[in-house]
Every structure is written in C-alpha cells, then in structure tokens.
Structure 1
Amino acid sequence: MTSIESVVRAAPAELDAMRHALEIARRGPAKGPNPRVGCVLLSAAGDVLGEGWHRGAGTPHAEVAALADAAGRGTSTRGATAVVTLEPCNHTGRTGPCSEALLAAGVARVVVSVPDPNPVAAGGAQRLRSAGVEVEVGALADEGRALLGAWLPSVERGRPFVTLKLATSLDGRVAAADGSSRWITSEVSRHHAHDLRAEVDAIVVGTGTALVDDPSLTARNAAGELQRQQPLRVVVGHRDLPPHARLHGPGGELVHVRTHDPARVLTELAAREVRHVLVEGGPTLAAAFLAAGLVDEVHAYVAPVLLGAGRPAMADLGVTTIGDAVRLTTRSVIPLGPDVLVVATPDRHIDPHSTTEEH
C-alpha cells in the first residue's frame, strides 16, 4: 500500500460510476505514451453531472473533459464527487495539473481506482487532500490496473513492457532445414498476430532476421491492407540493411539501433515514449532479451507441425541443467484454428554474469 492509499469507502453509486468510467476510458487509444483514463462527475445525490475520457497525447485529460462536459450541460460541479480511474495528475506537461482543475471546479470528493506510479505526475491525491478534498484510492483496483494494460508496468519498471512473440512448430522450430518458414502457423494465427502488432508501439527484430526473412513488420487487416496505426519498426544489430529491403517500404517509421544490448534498445525506445515492445525475432535476439531478464510476457503461437530439424525458436540461454530452465506461468491458452496461442509470463530471469538466480 502506498502513502496515498487508504481504506476504500465508496458508495454503490460511486462504484457504478467507476465501472462506467472504466468503460468510457476504453474509447481512448490503447497504445502510446499516455494511459487510458475515464472520469465521471456525480452530484451529492448520485446523479451524473458530466463525464469524459482521455483521447490521446496533447488532448484534455479525463477530468478536464468531464468538467467541460458538465459545463456544457449547464450543471455546477461545486461539492461534486469526481470518480476517476487513475489518480489525477499533479504536474504541468502538455496540459495543466488535473488536481488544480478539480480544485478550481469546487469538487469536494475524489474516488480513484489506481494511484499514478509516475513520479513526475503523481501527487494529485496528496494535493487534493491538503486542500481539504476527501480522497479515496483503490476502488475496483483490479479492473483499473487491467484497463491500463502495458502502460502501468512500463511506468512502474521505468522501461517499455516487452512481449516476446514466437511462432513455432510443435517441436519448437521456426524454420525448416532449408530455411523456409512460410507458413508454419495457420492463417488464423497470422491474422491474430497482426492484431497484436497493431496494439504495440514498436516491433523489434535482429539484423539476422531482417536480412534472412526480409520482413515488412507491418500490421495488416484480414484483406492484407495496412491498418490505420502502424508500430515503430526497430532493427537491432550492426549490419546494414540493403536498400531493397521491405523494411524501407510503407509502414511505420524504421529505426536501426546499432547494438546487441537489449537494455540499450529499451532505453532508446523509452526516449521515444514507447510503452509496449513486441520482440519478434530471431532466436538470438529472443535469447538475449530473456537472458537479460527483459521479457515480461511470451506469446507463443504453436502449430501442430513436426519438422525434426531446422532453426530453433531460441538460441543458447546458457542452461546446462533442468534446474536452471527458464520456467513460465501460463496465463491463457487460446485455440486459433488448428493452432494454439500460449500466453505466459516468466517466473524468473537468468543473470548471465552470475550463477545466482534472480526472482
């Protein structure tokens, strides 16, 4: 429990308003530097005075949007309760502090789902309390954290959230002995993977994969057309790409990070306000991110195909005994046509410079 948290005392009308705030927050962009946030303003009698959600970077925050909605309805917010999915910010960035906007509007009570983990923006609850506003934090906290998705752990860990994607045969191969890999998984799986690409801020591959597979790293719909929002395309390694590479074609911006250090890759992407990274390959890059303890989630698309030989999904992790295996906790198993998608999170990571396990 953080210093701003308290025992949650929320009325039924406030919990209903929080559920609605969570619902309207989902109308905001699912990716980008800013979180999804919703706000509902209630009168003392529990009537809705206004509502709003954050529509993306540079636009009014949810609290300000809700206050504007209330003003548009001609309703006064003095003495009102603000029900908001994320702690009101207390800093000036692209917009002003939401805590000050609520104070200026005469709000008397604020009910929050999730405290803001960003040290730059946090402090809104304390600012409001110091001004005499009653603040409750933790209402429907599990739902609030789920809404924030990759944004929340990214801010908490100070780096982009990393999803490692694998597409393998049943015996763990990503290509046959002759190097061919199209297609191991089914069309259903590939469509699902393109939807995943559309949800992330950046896709990362190594130069080896870029040179051998010549991917475009775009997010496409079922008709093969580019989706409206395209992720940043990131190539990691020192080798140059040929001018005819498909990565130079239409799609998201292409960034070449000339390093083999996964931590440096994430530092450079964090500077670009990237919150969610999808590592797509190849085996060497996947092993490097796992060995560095920088994989937060694994999406493994597994096809009922046996190759017996060919390129493995993972390069050497330095595991010499079963006790050192990288174990994961399965979060879900989703059938996709003939394939399955296994979503799992690592239980621990390997420290390549030590024999000590880090939990």
Structure 2
Amino acid sequence: MGALNDLTSSSLPAGVIADAFARAIAVAADYAGATSPNPPVGCVLLDAVGNSLAVEAHRKAGDLHAEARAIAACNAAGTIDRIHTVVVTLEPCNHHGRTPPCAEAILATPAREVWIAETDPNPRVDGGGAARLAAAGLSVRFLSEFDHPDASRLAADTERLIAPFVKWVTTGLPFVTVKQALDDTGSMIPPVGHRTFTSETSLTLAHRMRRRADAILTGSGTILADNPEFTVRRLPDHPDKRRILAILDRGSRVPADYLTEAARRGLRPILFSDIGEALTRLGTESVHEVLVEAGPILTSAILATDIWDEHVTIRKIGDGTPDRVTVSRNHNKKG
C-alpha cells in the first residue's frame, strides 16, 4: 500500500525512519505473549529533526495502546508539543474498545507524519485508522513503500511479530510453533543422566520462545518421561502471565499430582484427546501462539501434517561449536 495522500516526501532521513522502525519492532517484541487478545505493537515518536521523544509498546490487554502510551510519556516529559513523526508497527486503531482510538490520540498532538509497518488485519473492526489520519491532513506512509536497504528485513520482522495475531484473528486458531532440539546424530533424546544437550545460548532462546507463547502443547509421554516444569526461567516472565499447558493424553496417563503441581507453577493444564480439539479450544481461549515442546513421536506427527506454522530447529554441531538454529515457515499451508 502506498501513501494515502500526496504528502509523500518524508521530512526526516530514511536512516532515522529505519532506526525508529527497528526500535518499535524490538520494544513490541518484548511484550509478545503478554497482550492477548490484542497484538503486540510498538511506537516511536520523533521530533522534527529526528530526535527520539518516546519508545513505547502495548503491554497488556486493557492497558494503553502503544501510541497512547508514547504520547502519555511525552506529556509527562513536557515534550508533547515537539511530536512530529509517529512510527508504529501496526495501523493505529480507529474504533472504541477497552481504550479510546489511537488515531484520535495522534490527532490531538501536533504530529504531521505517520509511518505504519502493517495494516490492521482484524476483519471484525472497521479499521480505517490510516485513512482517518490522512483525511485530517497528516502524511501517512507505509513500510511497503519505504526505500531503504533495511526495508525488507524490517518488513519480515514486523510480519513475524504479528503473525500469531493475524492467524488467530482471521481463522480463530493459534499460530503453531514447533521447537525441536537435535544432537549431532539427529536424535532428540539427551544422553543418559542429562535433560538436554544444547548450549546455554540455545536454552535461553528456548525460554524466550516459551515466554512469547500463550500456550505450550506437549504429550503425555513427555510428561511421564521428563516431568518437565514448562516455566520461563532464563529471563523475566511477563507479570501475572498464566499459560495454558495443553497435554495430549488420550489414555489419561498423566498423574493428577503433576497437574496440581503445574497449576502451582502458574500454568493452566488442560487435557485433550487429539490435537484438533486442542487447537480449537486454544483458539477460543484467545491463544495467539502455541509452542509445541514434545518428544520425537508427537513432534514428527505434527510436522507431517499441515497444522504447524513455524519450525525452529536447534541442532548441536559438536563440542565447542555453537548450535545451529534454523527457522522454517510452512509455505505449503492451505488458505
């Protein structure tokens, strides 16, 4: 999508806009997993010469949206009159929900330019935030028209940032990420006496992925074999976050005391007989992303179907060599 009006020349250098987009994406990613049923969104406010006035994100449902939070930060700092350019990862909302429209909040400032990374994909709202801003005389431009060497990377980062929300809001189903750790022989089974074989860096990545997810999906076999905690331990978790632990347990093999302990750890365990039932239920629970952390049999079974969206492989290469991390998207999905 191109600019919505004829004010197409940005008054700020492309490098400044690129840096602002990168910071907006990064701060939004910090809150991925905390905003359901809303998407993670980041916003950067700049003055007329490109100085950063505020960098903020939507932090949780019911709280201020990213744009409103950034504007409030400027108001508190006494810099609201300097706001000139708004850089945001998602089209500002133009409807009343639990918070007022962000488009109107922007129009209450002296902002003259707005850069938007992605349009609002929600088919259940009127949208029109970009059109509302343009109709008021602001220069509204999109990342898709941005002429800069980093534009494609920024677009890819933004697309992944909101992919779980897009899937959920358009299909009612969660985005399915499969995490798989393999040793240098291709096995998922740790050596006897060990619970893992990946590096410290890879373990931190795994916990970062867990933090981003609204639910974890596993099988009864993994529960019985490893007694996993499924908590976020290598970085701070989102405050008050209570993830669903979806367990495929057709034979009712998971002990009741494991479920009790999981609940005490802050999880919400739910048993399912099959994955289709699980994904449908998780969708109704506003789960945007579910992380599959399972054993070889269930992992292979899921990857053999069309239900997964992203496959993250952490492969141990050898002692003293960094693990190799590869990310694959399911481009064969229908629809």
TM-score class, shorter-chain normalisation, is 0.7 to 0.9
Q: 1:132 to 1:235 in 2, by over 3 A?
A: same
Alignment check: 8 A CA contact 2:3 2:141 kept:
no
Shift of 1:98: 0.6
Name the CA distance, whole Å, in 2 between partners of 1:92 and 1:172.
51
* 1:75 Cα deviation after fit: 5.0
1:56 Cα deviation after fit? 0.5
CA contact (8 A) 2:176 2:309 kept: yes
In the superposition, relative to structure 1, how do residues 79 and 298 fare at CA in structure 2: closer, same or farther (>3 Å)? closer
2:323 is paired with a residue of what secondary structure?
strand
Q: Which has the larger radius of gyration?
A: 1
What are structure 2's unaligned runs of at least 5 residues? none
The alpha-carbon distance between structure 1 residues 173 and 82, as it changes in their structure 2 partners (threshold 3 A), is closer
Could you tell me how far apart the structure 1 residues matched to 2:88 and 2:219 are? Answer: 41
Take 1:49 and 1:216, find their aligned partners in 2: how far apart are those partners?
A: 41
1:60 to 54, 59, 64: 64
Q: 1:30 aligns with which of 29, 32, 35?
A: 32
Q: 1:85 to 1:289 in 2, by over 3 A?
A: same
The answer for the alignment partner of 2:141 in structure 1 is 136
In the TM superposition, what is the alpha-carbon distance from 1:248 to its structure 2 partner? 2.2
Q: Against the structure 1 CA distance between its residues 60 and 336, is the aligned structure 2 distance closer, same or farther, given a 3 Å change threshold?
A: farther
Which amino acid letter does the alignment assign opposite residue 281 of structure 1?
A: A
Secondary structure (helix, strand or coil) at the match of 2:256 reads coil
Q: Is the 8 A contact 1:236 1:258 kept in 2?
A: yes
More helix by share: 2
| 1:236 and 2:248 matched | yes
Deviations 1:90-110 (A, max 9, x none): 222221111122223354432
| Structure 1 letter corresponding to 2:93 | C
Counterparts in 2 of 1:111 and 1:257: CA distance versus 1, 3 Å: same
Between the two proteins, what is the percent identity of the paired residues?
29
Once residues 188 and 284 of structure 2 are traced to their aligned partners in structure 1, the CA distance between those partners, rounded to angstroms, is: 32
Give the structure 2 partner of residue 340 of structure 1. 323
Task: Give the direction of change, closer, same or farther, for the CA distance of 1:198–1:341 in structure 2 (3 Å limit).
Answer: farther
- Supply the distance in 2 between the matched residues of 1:5 and 1:267 (Cα, whole angstroms): 42
Quote the offset at 1:348 in angstroms. Answer: 4.6
Q: Secondary structure at the match of 2:19?
A: helix
Alpha-carbon offset, residue 341 of structure 1 = 3.1
Runs of 5+ consecutive residues of structure 1 not aligned to the other structure: 305-334, 351-357
Q: Give the structure 2 partner of residue 172 of structure 1.
A: 186
The residue that corresponds to 1:111 in the other structure is: 115
1:206 CA displacement: 1.4
Q: How does 1:1-359 map to 2 (within 5 A)?
A: 1=1, 9-13=9-13, 15-17=15-17, 19-20=19-20, 22-23=22-23, 26-27=26-27, 28-32=30-34, 33=36, 34-43=39-48, 46=49, 48=51, 50-57=53-60, 58-74=62-78, 77=81, 80-105=84-109, 107-120=111-124, 122-138=127-143, 139=146, 141-148=151-158, 150-158=160-168, 159-175=173-189, 182-183=194-195, 185-186=197-198, 188=200, 189-221=202-234, 227-229=236-238, 231-240=243-252, 241-245=254-258, 248-249=261-262, 250-262=264-276, 264-303=277-316, 337-338=320-321, 340-346=323-329, 348-349=331-332
Alignment RMSD? 3.7
Shift in Å at residue 293 of structure 1? 1.4
- Deviation per CA, 1:38-94: give whole Å up to 9, x if none: 131434xx3658424124023222222333334334456499443333221122222
Question: Is the Cα contact below 8 Å between 1:302 and 1:339 reproduced in 2?
Answer: no
